[in-house]
Amino acid sequence: MARSGYVLDACTRTISRNIAFGGKPLGALSFDGRHLYEITLQRKTASVIDTATEKVVRTFPVTTAYADVVSSDGRRLYVASDNQVSIYDTATGSYVGARNRSFPSSIKIINGVD
């Protein structure tokens, strides 16, 4: 079943368009608001969306995801999966490493500390 992410115009409170992802998406917005990282659970991919153009600019593979968040400097995407938090470079989409955790279900960055 295809799923979409919706672009909401906060001033008019209307949906201006939708972006199809092909599965259930999870989203994380960069701190500067320039990029939205949508992870599609069934495809195990992250789509990088330029928020100014509302277009997907890059896609890269990720692990199974329950939650995701972008680092305060925008350089890393953290993805919570079964027994770890996987870390990806946002510029290249490459896998950087992981931190083992027991079934993380959410991720937060507190006070800008990653």
pLDDT tens track for 73-92: 889 988 888 788 889 999 99
DSSP 53-69: TTEEEEEEE----SEEE
Mean pLDDT of the chain: 79
- For residue 39, pLDDT over 60 is answered with yes
3-36: per-residue pLDDT in tens?
Answer: 666 777 777 888 877 777 666 777 888 888 899 8
Q: Where are the domains of the chain?
A: 23-100
Burial (Cβ within 10 Å: 0-12, 13-18, ≥19) of residue 60: middle
Whole-prediction pTM: 0.75
For residues 110 and 82, what is the distance between their CA atoms, to the nearest angstrom?
Answer: 22
CA dihedral 35, 89, 114, 9 (to 10 degrees): 10
* CA distance linking residue 22 with residue 85, whole number of Å: 24
Q: Which CATH fold would you assign to the domain 23-100?
A: Thrombin, subunit H (2.40.10)
Q: How confident is the model at residue 111 (pLDDT cuts 50, 70, 90)?
A: low
**Beta bridge mates, 29:** 36
